[in-house]
Amino acid sequence: MKPLDLVFLGDIILDVPDPDHWLGGVAPVTRAADLAVGHLEVPHTTRGEELAGDVPAPGADPAHLSAIARADIEMLSMAGNHIADCGGEGIADTNAELDRLGIAHAGAGLNLSEATRPAFVERGGRTIGLLSFNCVGPEIAWATADRPGCAYVHVRADDDGPSRPQANLVEADPASVAAMQDAIADLRRRADLVLVALHKGITHRPAALAPYERPLAFAAVDAGADAVLGHHAHIPRGIEFHRGRPIFHGLGNGVVVTHALSPAQDHPGRAEWAERRKRMFGFEPDPAYPLAPFHPEAVNGMIGRLRLDPDGSIRTGFLPMWSAPPGRPEPATGGRAAEIANYIDRIGVRVGLAPLRQTLDAGWRWLRPESA
């Protein structure tokens, strides 16, 4: 039995033409791994009604999912704040095409039972399982017994209003955390490696963790998760270990290229949000990045790595990544790679995480828990 190498990408949005080009920078890395896992942010559909209650993302071309398959990204989390933006039809179309392509997926379905169903992949005689939860709302996107949507953990807003991405989310509901832990414990009995994807955090703000994020990630590990994969903030976050298991608090943008955040568009809600978020989070996008108009520090990124050794032990690492204009991610090299690796360490320390103990291996940064 040989070691298994897994790599992790953050958010994936491919709603502009030529998806193979935009994936091309990271595709050599995802193809070289035994398994690549990403987070699919938006539905891929040509139909469906626009969901009210959040700033809706447009449906991406269903044909673009085949580019994800060609990049050998074979497992996707889907529980996020935009996956229900085209309603149940958008979720049904996306799931059907992923099934046709043989891409395992978890987190969204035509009811809560489907949405909370784990995804499985077999590699080298071992079973890898994935669960996916949306922790930021909006509540209208949550699946119920008879409504399409995503799996979720209910996190309370400090104004006692509904859970929603633009609210100040502070504390996870204990009953909701217990339900998540039950799902993880059940998966632990069925899989050799358990991955838990949490769509969580504060968007567009450097070096920030909401009060609920670390306790929720710890709860996932306590229930049996071997790795926690965070995304949603569209800017990277720090990495820490709990009980020797890695927590990627925010993988940042995986491959995000979209016109949906440009002020120059016909959709008034998206145009208004493109301007409002700059005021809310205090940044002006770099005009060199029209397809990824995020906080300037969002050009720093990473691909997470996990190696499962034959004895069941786990090693963790990451590959520094950056986004080349107008928004194409690619592995960083030389001095830029060192700068990004130090950035990932620095933003973690700023929010109270332990400094990363790094060793370099052909561009990858291998990490050791502080107790090692």
Percent of the chain residues topping a pLDDT of 70: 97
At residue 282, the pLDDT reads 84
Letter for the amino acid at 184?
I
- Report whether pLDDT(53) > 70: no
Query: Looking at residue 33, what is its pLDDT?
Result: 98
Q: What is the pLDDT of residue 265?
A: 67
Domain ranges across the chain = 4-368
Decide: 52 and 138 in contact? Cβ < 8 Å.
no
pLDDT digits (tens, 9 = 90+) for 87-100: 999 999 999 999 99
pLDDT for the residue 323: 96
Decide if 220 contacts 249 (C-beta within 8 A).
no
- Peptide bond before 165: cis, by omega within 30 degrees of 0? no
Instruction: Please state, for a pLDDT cut of 90, what percent of the chain lies above it.
Output: 85
In sequence order, the 6+-apart residues with CB closer than 8 A to the CB of 119 are 75, 76, 104, 105, 106, 129, 130
Report the pLDDT value the prediction gives residue 164, as an integer from 0 to 100.
93
| CATH of region 4-368, choose from 3.40.50.300, 3.60.21.10, 3.40.50.1970, 3.40.1160.10 | 3.60.21.10
Please tell me the distance from the alpha carbon of residue 39 to that of residue 231, in angstroms, as a whole number.
Answer: 8
Contacts of residue 30, Cβ cutoff 8 Å, sequence gap at least 6 = 7, 9, 36, 71, 72, 73
Query: Residue 203, Cβ neighbours under 10 Å: how many?
Result: 20
Q: How much is the pLDDT for 276?
A: 80
Residues 211, 214, 218: CA angle, nearest 5 degrees: 145
Q: What's residue 166's pLDDT?
A: 87
How, if at all, do strands 149-150 and 108-109 pair? Answer: antiparallel
Q: What three-state secondary structure class fits 297? A: helix
Mean pLDDT, rounded, of the chain: 94
More confident residue, 321 or 53: 321
- 268-293 pLDDT, tens digit per residue, is 777 787 778 778 778 888 899 999 98
* Residue partners of 287: CB distance under 8 A and separation at least 6: none
Closest CA to 11 of 240, 301, 206, 246: 301
pLDDT band at 369 (very low <50, low <70, confident <90, very high): confident
* Cα–Cα dist 76/90, whole Å: 16
Does the pLDDT at position 359 exceed 60?
A: yes
Cβ contacts of 57 within 8 Å, gap of 6 or more: 13, 15, 41, 42, 82, 85, 258, 260, 270
- Per DSSP, what are the bridge partners of residue 330? 322
**pTM of this structure:** 0.96
**Predicted confidence (pLDDT) per residue in 166-213, tens digit:** 899 999 999 999 999 999 999 999 999 999 999 999 999 999 999 999
Higher pLDDT, 277 or 328: 328
Q: Which two tokens stand for residue 264?
A: 């120059």
Q: What confidence tier does 372 reach under pLDDT thresholds 50, 70, 90?
A: low
